[in-house]
Structure 1
């Protein structure tokens, strides 16, 4: 387990943007049948998913979240010396979408920018990366943007995924300070199972795969340009490897679940959340849920839960345990203290970057 601790850096602002569009799972009755949809809803806990507009990308949602977080923060754009964009749905193959966001936000030329290709663990991996750079640089502040529009690489015939994944974007401001509690993070990776969640074509391997969808061994129509998830592999990983990481982290930190106000966990599905609650002996009331209304939001799950549940909360400090896990396979957890005053309410938007077309 790789660990990291960061002193004298705080989360100075957090905003999340979701599209105005929501799709109730009942809309899929005609596609998958009422019985199958109701079984899906009971198992996953998902009642509706957030849906980006056709021209709206992950960076559009992240951009709107960034505008919102700057509007509600005392930090200026010129204070930002590092910008990282975490997504598996970039605007282009080249350049990195971070440069598009740098331009749109009007950030200084004295700024380090790049993308991270990560999904459900992306917020915590992004935190580790941006905190490391901020701690070792002369920058006063940094901006972490996460976002995904997962639906854009899902087969509309895939009952295991198309009703599960939602779209959103977030922006988190990090600021150096002389008065801050530590941020502790921990990571593991299992590249041996990289095929467990994969989009086989669309980059530079399998470049000439046919785009027509055909029935796969599970009977679902897909092409190699559609994201595919080996459900049982990912499920086993989520209820075995992930709780072990969480337990190891608690042991190293010499802490117990009772010491945390809330556990902000990746919103994979309701059954997995219940299993993590059982294995770690976490009271269910300490695990806020957003997937029932927004679905699994990939790299944006953790910020979305925070904005959804604490964006209108009275001011006060929360001691949080965070955990994300998914494609790679990758898994990460950590703890931090955040003041609810810096967590902004969810915003809704259908805006997109018209100059990009």
Structure 2
């Protein structure tokens, strides 16, 4: 595991944006059959997800969450020297979507921008990267923006994914502080399993792939431009490699579950969360859940849980354990401190900007 400890960087703002359309899992009864849908709800715990309108992109949702945070906290954008955008649904192949958001937020030229192409683990990879760069630069503040519109590459026939994933965007404001704050991270990667979650075409490896949707070996109709997840491989990874990292990381930082107020975990599905609870001896009462209403939100799962559960709580400093895991394969943990005053309520919006079409 790659370990890092970062001092005196504060999470001073959290903002989450969701589309207004709430799509209930039961609405798929006619498409997939009541028995299959009810079984899906029981296993995953997902009762509904938020769906973006076709014109709304991941960068729209990321921008909207950032703009709201900047406005409500009266942030001087000239002090923002770093913007990282984490997404697997960029606006264009080139340029990086962080530059679109940079322009829309009217940030200074004295700002480093780049994208990170990760999904469910992306928030933690991005947080570690943003804190490290902020710590070693002359920048006062950084924005970590995560967003995905997962539905845009999921086959409408794929019952394993279409009911599971929601669309959303989030922004964290990070800033240097004299407060005695330390964040710790543990990260692992395994490129040997890169095909476990993959969108085979749409970039440059398979330039001439057919757009025709056909029946795959699992019986689901999709094209090579649809995201494919090998369910059993990802499930095995989630209940074996992830709890092992959690255990190893707790040993490295010399802490136990009793040292944390909450374990804010990637909202993969309810069964996996229960397995992580059992294997790592974490009380389920310490694992807040948002997937029942919003599903699996890729890189936004952790910020969404924060906004969903703690935005109404005033001035409470919490010791939190984060864990995210997914495509790559990639998985990470973090030990952080955050005050609930930093967390804004969820913004629901279908706004988009056609100037960028």
Partners in 1 of 2:180 and 2:142 — Cα distance? Answer: 16
Aligned to 1:244: 244
Unaligned 5+ runs, structure 1: none
**CA shift digits 1:109-155 (9 cap, x unpaired):** 10000100000000000011111111111000100000000000000
Partners in 2 of 1:297 and 1:335 — Cα distance? Answer: 21
Contact 1:16 1:346 in 2 (8 A): yes
Q: SS of the residue aligned with 2:171?
A: strand
**CA shift digits 1:210-259 (9 cap, x unpaired):** 11110011110011000000000000000000000000000011100011
Aligned to 2:278: 278
Contact 1:10 1:180 in 2 (8 A): no
Aligned to 1:307: 307
Matched, 1:67 2:67: yes
Partners in 1 of 2:48 and 2:161 — Cα distance? Answer: 13
Matched, 1:255 2:255: yes
Partners in 2 of 1:180 and 1:35 — Cα distance? Answer: 53
Deviation at 1:22, TM superposition (A): 1.0
Partners in 2 of 1:259 and 1:74 — Cα distance? Answer: 34
Contact 1:12 1:73 in 2 (8 A): no
Map 1:175-186 to 2 at 5 A: 175-186=175-186
Which shifted more, 74-83 or 53-62? 74-83
Q: Structure 1 runs of 4+ off > 2 angstroms?
A: none
Partners in 1 of 2:247 and 2:74 — Cα distance? Answer: 38
Deviation at 1:43, TM superposition (A): 0.2
Partners in 2 of 1:93 and 1:273 — Cα distance? Answer: 34
Deviation at 1:315, TM superposition (A): 1.4
**CA shift digits 1:296-331 (9 cap, x unpaired):** 000010000000001111211010000000000000
Map 1:70-89 to 2 at 5 A: 70-89=70-89
Aligned to 1:231: 231
**CA shift digits 1:143-199 (9 cap, x unpaired):** 000000000000000000000000000010000011131000110001000000000
**CA shift digits 1:23-43 (9 cap, x unpaired):** 101111111001000000000
Deviation at 1:278, TM superposition (A): 0.3
Aligned to 1:340: 340
Deviation at 1:74, TM superposition (A): 4.5
Partners in 2 of 1:58 and 1:37 — Cα distance? Answer: 27
Map 1:80-229 to 2 at 5 A: 80-229=80-229
Q: SS of the residue aligned with 1:241?
A: helix
Aligned to 2:23: 23
Q: SS of the residue aligned with 2:258?
A: helix
Aligned to 1:267: 267
Q: SS of the residue aligned with 2:292?
A: helix
Aligned pair count reads 357
Aligned to 1:9: 9
Let me know the Cα RMSD of the aligned residues.
Answer: 0.7
Q: SS of the residue aligned with 1:100?
A: helix
Aligned to 2:356: 356
